[in-house]
Amino acid sequence: MEGMPHPIPRTVDEVFNDFKGRRAGLIKALTTDVEKFFQQCDPEKENLCLYGLPNETWEVNLPVEEVPPELPEPALGINFARDGMQEKDWLSLVAVHSDSWLLAVAFYFGARFGFGKNERKKLYLMINDLPTIFEVVTGSVKPSKDRSTNHNSSGKSKSNANVSRQSEPQSKMVKISPLSKDDESGEEDEDDDEHGATCGACGDSYGTDEFWICCDICERWFHGKCVNITPAKAEHIKQYKCPSCTSKRARV
């Protein structure tokens, strides 16, 4: 969401410069400006996005209202997961989605202005020669504005296609309780079950300072990290099935 208009890139070099500017802004948000970024991502606010701008700045703001948007949009609702996981894990998650968004914007310009096969390949190779934001944030490499070492960014970018566009704020989550089969009078027994639970994946006991999720099929509890479910992902799961129940269903 850009307050002032920026020149629209039309050539490979212009698109790459636009990519580098946005990337530099995002890296600032997640490294040198991380305290300011953390404070702006208040979980009590509505869905927020992290935008990198071509002039090497960044901003946290609400998504654009127009549909479809003029440019691809960043991951929506990054603020909801802020207090539900360790800060370094949250920053890494934002970094991954930022990498994905940067690629989406760059190749949107490529598609819009009719880049051919060779131009797309050239653009990708130029981008791939830079470390991903994820690599910079996690310490794999040091941030570099102009020159960089050659790192393979494969696997570092993930789609944000499953991110919900709900406009209402959602509460931050510590754990997700299973769907109740009884009335509200059974809540106390449910709490007792949680505190006596062990992770169905690693076998460790329940901890109040960790994010847990319960399978709605077998009703076993799991560490979110053991089943690759973050608080942000969990907010959009209507019925959770653990890996075991999912594979059983697939074999039927």
Contacts 24+ apart (CB under 8 A), 223-229: 223/199, 224/85, 226/199, 226/201, 226/202, 227/201
Across residues 9-29, what is the average pLDDT? 95
SS3 51: strand
Cβ atoms < 10 Å from Cβ of 114: 8
User: Any idea of the CA torsion for 194, 199, 203, 209, to the nearest 10 degrees?
Assistant: -70
139-193 tens-digit pLDDT: 887 555 544 434 444 443 333 333 333 333 333 333 444 434 444 444 445 454 5
Strand pairing report for 212-214 and 175-176: parallel
Peptide bond into 68 cis (omega under 30): yes
Please give the structure tokens belonging to residue 13.
């070099």
106: which DSSP letter?
A: H
34-54 tens-digit pLDDT: 999 999 999 999 899 999 999
Domains contained in the chain, CATH given? 12-138 (no CATH), 197-251 (3.30.40.10)
User: Any idea of the CA torsion for 88, 170, 167, 106, to the nearest 10 degrees?
Assistant: 20
Please give the structure tokens belonging to residue 118.
């060779």
Mean pLDDT (the chain) is: 78
Please name which of 123, 147, 146 lies closest in space to residue 12, comparing C-alpha atoms.
123
Pair 249, 104: CB distance under 8 Å? no
In angstroms, the CA 21 to CA 119 distance is: 20
Q: Does an H or E element contain 84, and which?
A: none
182 or 127, which is more confident: 127
